[in-house]
Amino acid sequence: MSLVLNEEQTLLQSTARDFLLTNSPVDEFRKLRDSRDALGYSAELWQQIADLGWAGIIIPEQYGGLEFGFQGLAAIIEETGHTLLASPLISSSVLSASALVLGGNEKQKNDFLPQLANGSITLALALEDGNHHDPLGVTTSANPSDGGWLVNGRKVFVMDGHSADQLILVARTSGAAGESQGLSLFLVDAASAGITRTRTTMVDGRNAANIELENVAVGADQLLGTVDDGWTILEPVLDRGRIALAAELLGSAWEAFNRTVEYLKEREQFGVKIGSFQALQHRASIMYTELELSNSVVMHAASAVDDDPAGLPAIASLAKARMNDVSKLVTNEAVQMHGGIGVTDELDIGLFLKRSRVAMQLLGDSGYHKDRYATLNGY
């Protein structure tokens, strides 16, 4: 377990910070949102990101990736939180890439990982059947047909699902909702017959999709891993995604905090800077303390992906639950300390609150992860 970035990881994070501040400041996110861009992110910027190696940072070198480790990727994702970068980095390069690395056969890896790493395709994980995170509650069915399967069901809240070239579908090949045994993962062309994708725009301006699946024919060669045993792949994939989201929330919370401190130094009331008010100083101190503690939790979680797979489920839930709560605290306080202007769209601070609220729900809210953490620890 490492709670300090090494020299290479520090350089990577610093380079990411400079790149994002130059090429993707918050103003660029506003332009995407206000123009209702059909893709939802800049294709040109995404190609630049891929050229930097970020899209393939956890992909083995033999498949065109950097194989740099998850802690380096988490450091980059933390920086994306500072500028509210809209990109398929988490949906494609964390969740989908992890599913292929952990569960794909050699042909699947050779066919898709190089393209994913160079930015020529994106993938999305189609998991949720209902409105709340419940990975074992999948009822989307995959029934045997002509040596393959026919998939029927509905997926919601699929991150970047409207624009992905390939979908990783989670379907039930046996068993009942709530059981881990019986889940299977399939790699499916998003343009396949029977797939209908409807784009949804969240309150934070990001993309998701609702996907209808009607008699979607899936071949035996499209199965990821072993039939009925998809959970052994899916669980670590989701934990990687949770840690990535925790890292993004950490970055955006730090940015909201720093912007608020600067505002406290500038805003005058009753002839003095409001930063001189002791009550506001106390509230800022609490935020700072919570954020510093969160640094250690997120870094521990990111290092666990590569160094402690057995302990990953608990630390992933700890990191996600903590950042859900800390992000909510910091963004609430940030908006309140900015006063009336804090709730207007004119000020960027509200954008951080909106992103926080959506990211808190993705891959499990605080209640889900506190319960999971307690269960994993025997309570």
Tokens of 329: 């605290």
DSSP 13-60: HHHHHHHHHHH--HHHHHHHHHHT-SSSS-HHHHHHHHHTTGGGTTS-
Which pLDDT belongs to residue 191? 96
Q: What is the pLDDT of residues 219-230, one digit of tens each?
A: 999 999 999 999
User: What is the C-alpha separation between 280 and 333, in angstroms, rounded?
Assistant: 10
Is-contact 140 183, C-beta < 8 A? no
User: What is the C-alpha separation between 164 and 328, in angstroms, rounded?
Assistant: 30
Of the pLDDT bands very low, low, confident and very high (cuts 50, 70, 90), residue 2 is low
Of the pLDDT bands very low, low, confident and very high (cuts 50, 70, 90), residue 373 is very high
Residue 159: strand pairing partners = 208
Q: What are phi and psi of 144, to 5 degrees?
A: -55, 140
Is-contact 98 58, C-beta < 8 A? yes
Lowest mean pLDDT among 2-16, 95-109, 202-216, 319-333: 2-16
Q: What is the pLDDT of residues 26-84, one digit of tens each?
A: 999 999 999 989 899 999 999 999 999 999 999 999 999 999 999 999 999 999 999 99
Segment 297-309 mean pLDDT: 94
User: What is the C-alpha separation between 322 and 317, in angstroms, rounded?
Assistant: 8
Task: Give the CATH number of domain 232-376; options: 1.20.140.10, 3.40.50.880, 3.40.50.720, 1.10.8.50.
Answer: 1.20.140.10
User: What is the C-alpha separation between 42 and 33, in angstroms, rounded?
Assistant: 11
Which pLDDT belongs to residue 211? 98
Tokens of 136: 């074992």
User: What is the C-alpha separation between 301 and 246, in angstroms, rounded?
Assistant: 9
Q: What are phi and psi of 81, to 5 degrees?
A: -65, -30
Same fold, 7-121 and 124-228: no
Task: Give the CATH number of domain 7-121; options: 3.40.50.300, 1.20.58.340, 2.40.37.10, 1.10.540.10.
Answer: 1.10.540.10
Which pLDDT belongs to residue 270? 86
Give me the CATH code for the 124-228 domain, please. Answer: 2.40.110.10
Nearest to 361 by CA among 373, 369, 351: 369
Is-contact 100 225, C-beta < 8 A? no
Residue boundaries of the structural domains of the chain = 7-121, 124-228, 232-376
Q: What is the pLDDT of residues 157-180, one digit of tens each?
A: 999 999 999 999 999 999 999 999
Close Cβ partners of 372 (under 8 Å, ≥ 6 residues apart) = 313, 317, 364
Place of tokens 């450091």: 75
- Within 40-125, residue ranges assigned H as helices are 43-51, 70-83, 97-103, 106-118
| pLDDT of 1 above 70 | no
Identity of the amino acid at 4: V
- CB neighbours of residue 53 within 10 Å: 18
Identity of the amino acid at 310: A
Per residue, the 3-state secondary structure of 78-99, as one string, reads HHHHHHCCCCCHHHHHHHHHHH
User: What is the C-alpha separation between 174 and 55, in angstroms, rounded?
Assistant: 34
Residue 229 carries which DSSP code?
B
| pLDDT of 264 above 90 | yes
First to last CA, the chain: 25
Is-contact 85 118, C-beta < 8 A? no
Q: Is 178 exposed, middle or buried (0-12, 13-18, 19+ CB in 10 A)?
A: exposed
Which pLDDT belongs to residue 157? 95
pTM: 0.97
Of the pLDDT bands very low, low, confident and very high (cuts 50, 70, 90), residue 153 is very high
Q: What is the pLDDT of residues 184-222, one digit of tens each?
A: 999 999 999 999 999 998 899 998 999 999 999 999 999
**Displacement of CA 75 from its chain's centroid (Å):** 13
User: What is the C-alpha separation between 2 and 308, in angstroms, rounded?
Assistant: 11
